[in-house]
């Protein structure tokens, strides 16, 4: 069973990364290289997090095996040593160092070389592969040049220093230390925010009133963003229309226009297609045409505008569902029947889970009673973990006595030879640290350039940027974790066997001022960051600068809450009208569908009587077309009042009874001549 745990975790982590990428990315529309690069970056980072506990337990097993064998031989020198039992998670020697080297250097190549290039390539508006590569190289020239300048300066300083004679191994260690120092600087910022915000978010989730008010606030902000995205899309589409009308079918740049049009929404493509005259030739002497450079810029604007418009539209629908659900919870809390009633029941048939397990009664007890207490309990547990992390970050350098709580737990497990407990304790600790850091990465938003949106609405730039952040944050996070449990001798200054992960990082003693100074004292700043996050100092500063943030005692926040409440109420009324119209239409079809079929049959028989006589035909038509009961005619008139005028209909007569089957009247728009099945597509 050697290596079985390693193989299982490799497979499980891959599907976890694939699932998260499916939630945020779009497998159908985004480029394969973008998805592959992001998946590889996420997969390698998650792999480091999940495999590191196995590395710690393997080192502990080897250390305890050596101690037990030495002690046994000391007591009974003439006896054979008693074999030590190795658990199924034991990994043989030589596997972990090779594994860590491949994972670490692959992730570093991704974050510093490939992902920045692919990021510029995906965002480029070029119309060919060569053009996109050229744009990506130009944009990354400054990026790569800055790092080369810094590295060259440090290399010259080391070369001229009389006391330093560094080998390739030591230079490699300096490079790794520099990358980890940069990552640790960002790690403490994100960790200080997540340690406070994650427990507080679950506590606020248990307060339905607070959550509903915050949802109103988000609705107001999102509607503003949605309107701005629609306006931006209209402006960009107007520029596309002008360019499309100026560049005709036989112009050399027409293929660029066709590429841009394929990126536009379908309704805009149809409008532009109807207004074009492809039979008109272009004249270079009389007309001015946009250049290829301007079309590249326009192509880039179209990609950004369409993606932003789709994202805000989907997010608005999701937020609307959340607001309606929270309002339903508030209404059902006072229900005496203890059955959860939805304002807008789902039109889809209920599955077996909803019919037999998650019944309306069970849903009421969960949503109105149990859920809030579950979130409060979870918030308390996460708060205790956060306090333990803050205490350990401030005291992990003390080895005598051992003050780091996580180091105490690991050392107690070592005394009892409980390897499973060591693995579980390490996994829970590092998983909590990663949750605080990674969730902050998923929450932060840098204007509209970096924004991770769920439901397949994240653009290629944000996906790759997140992959870069993960690759830069994960190695220093793991080193910080090893320092918390006193498994990094460069920080703890203990003569203990090192993990395979620490061995590939080299000895931090090459740069003693970083190992003994920055790595020890800088994490203490997490206390200041946690205090600032608890009192929402950053949010209040942004609110004072004009950025709309949710602050309870702000007048701007109150106005936005009222506006969002009115927007949700308006959307509910619109949805209610649509649902009432569908119910009336369905009810009319159920009541009078057979009567209409009988009328159609009688009308058809009246036309077949034309061969008898003209007078009989006229009487017959009058009899079958006008002598219907008054109730039938009233029902048809009610249907006309309930439904809006449909310009897609084949007949537009004043009275539906006068319309003969198979005949088409005038008044039909050619631009909207779709089939009957698309009459209610806007509903």
* DSSP structure string for 421-436: HHHHHHHHHHHHHHHH
pLDDT > 90 fraction of the chain, expressed in percent and rounded: 18
The model's confidence at residue 280, banded by pLDDT at 50, 70 and 90, is: low
Alpha-helix runs per DSSP H in 206-265: 208-246, 254-263
DSSP track, 393-421: HHHTT-BTTB--HHHHHHHHHHHTT-HHH
CA 583 vs CA 578, 639, 642, 680: distances in Å:
9, 12, 11, 14
pLDDT band at 199 (very low <50, low <70, confident <90, very high): very high
Quote the DSSP letter at residue 336: S
Whether the pLDDT of residue 667 is over 90: the answer is no
Q: What is the pLDDT of residue 671?
A: 34
Spatial CB neighbours of 413, under 8 Å, sequence gap ≥ 6 = 419, 421, 422, 425
For position 617, what pLDDT does the model report?
Answer: 42
Summarised one tens digit per residue, pLDDT across range 616-632 is 443 444 443 444 444 44
665 pLDDT more than 80: no
DSSP structure class, residue 384: H
CA atoms of 240 and 298, how far apart (whole Å): 8
β-sheet bridge partners, residue 451 = 445
| Mean pLDDT calculated for residue range 35-41 | 91
Question: Distance between CA 562 and CA 514 in Å, rounded?
Answer: 52
Give the residue from 297, 180, 179, 310 showing the smallest Cα distance to 236.
297
As a whole number of angstroms, the distance between CA 496 and CA 56 comes to: 12
Range scoring the smallest mean pLDDT among 31-40, 121-130, 236-245, 510-519? 510-519
Percent of the chain whose predicted confidence (pLDDT) is above 70: 74
Decide: 60 and 498 in contact? Cβ < 8 Å. Answer: no
- Pairing label, strands 445-446, 450-451: antiparallel
175 token code pair: 């490079």
On whether the CB atoms of residues 508 and 177 are closer than 8 A, the answer is yes
Q: Which distant-in-sequence residues (6+ apart) come within 8 Å of 136 by Cβ? A: 117, 118, 120, 121, 124
pLDDT, averaged across the chain: 76
Which pTM was predicted?
0.75
Rounded to 5 degrees, what angle do the CA atoms 173, 174, 180 make? 90
What's the pLDDT score for residue 678?
Answer: 38
Q: Which of 167, 112, 59, 163 is nearest to 499 (CA)?
A: 59
Q: How far apart are CA 119 and CA 100, in angstroms?
A: 26
Find all residues with CB under 8 Å of 529, minimum gap 6, and list them: 188, 189, 191, 192, 193
Angle between helix 460-484 and helix 115-123 axes, rounded to 10 deg: 160
Q: What is the pLDDT of residue 492?
A: 60
Lowest mean pLDDT among 105-109, 351-355, 494-498: 494-498
**Band of the pLDDT at 382, cuts 50, 70, 90?**
very high
Strand partners, 402: 399
Can you give the pLDDT at residue 501?
Answer: 86
**How confident is residue 81, by pLDDT bands cut at 50, 70 and 90?**
very low
Q: Is the pLDDT of residue 9 over 50?
A: yes
Give the three-state DSSP class for 280.
Answer: coil
| Torsion angle of C-alpha atoms 264, 265, 267, 268, degrees rounded to 10 | -30
Q: Rounded distance, CA 204 to CA 211, Å?
A: 7
The pLDDT tens digits of the residues spanning 512-522 come to: 656 666 777 78
Least confident of 113-122, 380-389, 470-479, 502-511: 502-511
Contact call for residues 63 and 413 (beta carbons, < 8 A): no
Torsion on CA atoms 278, 281, 282, 284, rounded to nearest 10:
170
Indicate if the alpha-carbon torsion angle 118, 122, 128, 131 is positive or negative: negative
Measured CA to CA, the distance from residue 669 to residue 38 in angstroms comes to 47
pLDDT in tens, 637-655: 444 444 344 434 443 343 4
Give the pLDDT mean for 525-542.
87
* Cβ 60 vs Cβ 422: under 8 Å: yes
Report how far residue 683's alpha carbon sits from residue 672's, in angstroms, rounded to the nearest whole number: 16
Distance CA 57, CA 420 (A): 8
Q: Read off the pLDDT band of 611 (50, 70, 90).
A: very low
- Is pLDDT of 244 > 80? yes
| Residue 6 tokens, joined | 């390693």
Tell me, what's the pLDDT at 549?
79
Q: What is the pLDDT of residue 79?
A: 46
Contact predicate 652/666, CB 8 Å:
yes
Q: Is the N-terminal amide bond of 401 cis, ω within 30° of 0? A: yes
Contacts of 403 (CB under 8 A, 6+ apart): 391, 392, 395, 396
391 closest CA partner among 377, 375, 408, 374: 408
């Amino acid at each position: 069973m050697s290596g079985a745990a390693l193989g299982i975790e490799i497979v499980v982590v891959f599907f976890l990364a694939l699932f998260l990428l499916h939630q945020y990315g779009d497998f159908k529309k985004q480029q394969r290289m973008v998805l592959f690069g992001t998946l590889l970056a996420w997969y390698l980072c998650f792999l480091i997090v999940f495999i590191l506990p196995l590395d710690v337990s393997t080192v502990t097993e080897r250390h305890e095996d050596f101690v037990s064998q030495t002690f046994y031989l000391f007591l009974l020198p003439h006896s054979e040593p008693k074999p030590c039992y190795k658990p199924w998670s034991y990994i043989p020697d030589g596997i972990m160092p090779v594994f860590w080297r491949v994972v670490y250097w692959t992730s570093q190549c991704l974050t510093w070389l490939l992902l920045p290039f692919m990021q510029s390539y995906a965002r480029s508006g070029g119309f060919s592969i060569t053009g996109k590569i050229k744009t990506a190289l130009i944009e990354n020239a400054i990026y790569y040049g800055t790092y080369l300048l810094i590295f060259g300066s440090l290399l010259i300083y080391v070369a001229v220093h009389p006391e330093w004679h560094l080998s390739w191994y030591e230079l490699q260690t300096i490079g790794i230390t520099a990358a980890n120092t940069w990552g640790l600087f960002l790690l403490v910022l994100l960790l200080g925010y997540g340690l406070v915000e994650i427990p507080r978010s679950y506590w606020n989730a248990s307060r339905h009133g607070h959550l509903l008010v915050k949802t109103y606030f988000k609705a107001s902000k999102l509607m503003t963003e949605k309107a701005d995205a629609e306006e931006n899309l209209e402006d960009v589409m107007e520029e596309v229309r002008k360019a499309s009308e100026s560049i005709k079918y036989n112009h050399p740049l027409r293929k660029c226009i066709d590429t841009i049009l394929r990126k536009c929404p379908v309704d805009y493509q149809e409008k532009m297609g109807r207004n074009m005259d492809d039979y008109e030739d272009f004249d270079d002497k009389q007309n001015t045409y946009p250049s290829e450079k301007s079309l590249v810029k326009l192509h880039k604007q179209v990609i950004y505008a369409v993606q932003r418009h789709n994202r805000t539209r989907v997010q608005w629908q999701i937020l609307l569902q959340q607001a309606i659900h929270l309002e339903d919870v508030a209404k059902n809390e006072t229900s005496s029947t203890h059955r959860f009633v939805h304002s807008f029941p789902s039109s889809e048939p209920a599955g077996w889970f909803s019919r037999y397990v998650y019944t309306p009664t069970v849903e009421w007890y969960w949503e109105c009673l149990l859920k809030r207490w579950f979130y409060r309990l979870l918030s308390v547990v996460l708060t205790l973990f956060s306090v333990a992390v803050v205490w350990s970050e401030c005291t992990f350098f003390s080895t005598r006595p051992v003050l780091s709580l996580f180091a105490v737990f690991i050392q107690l497990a070592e005394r009892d030879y409980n390897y499973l407990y060591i693995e579980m304790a390490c996994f829970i600790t590092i998983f909590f640290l990663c949750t605080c850091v990674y969730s902050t990465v998923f929450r932060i938003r840098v204007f509209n350039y970096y924004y991770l949106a769920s439901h397949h609405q994240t653009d290629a730039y944000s996906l790759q940027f997140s992959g870069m952040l993960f690759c830069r944050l994960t190695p220093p996070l793991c080193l910080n974790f090893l320092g918390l449990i006193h498994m990094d001798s460069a920080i703890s200054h203990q003569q203990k066997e090192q993990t395979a992960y620490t061995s590939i990082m080299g000895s931090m003693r090459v740069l003693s001022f970083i190992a003994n100074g920055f790595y020890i004292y800088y994490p203490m700043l997490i206390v200041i960051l946690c205090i600032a996050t608890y009192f929402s100092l950053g949010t209040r500063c942004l609110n004072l600068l004009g950025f709309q943030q949710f602050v309870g005692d702000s007048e701007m926040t109150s106005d936005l809450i009222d506006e969002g409440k009115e927007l949700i109420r308006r959307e509910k009324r619109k949805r209610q009208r649509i649902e009432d119209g569908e119910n009336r239409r369905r009810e009319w079809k159920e009541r009078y569908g057979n009567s209409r079929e009988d009328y159609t049959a009688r009308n058809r028989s009246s036309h077949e009587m034309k061969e008898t006589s003209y007078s009989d035909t006229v009487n017959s038509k009058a009899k079958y077309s006008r002598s219907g009961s008054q109730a039938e005619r009233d029902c048809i008139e009610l249907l006309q009042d309930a439904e809006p005028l449909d310009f897609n209909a084949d007949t537009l007569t004043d009275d539906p009874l006068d319309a003969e089957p198979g005949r088409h009247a005038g008044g039909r728009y050619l631009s909207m001549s779709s089939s009957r099945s698309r009459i209610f597509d806007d509903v």
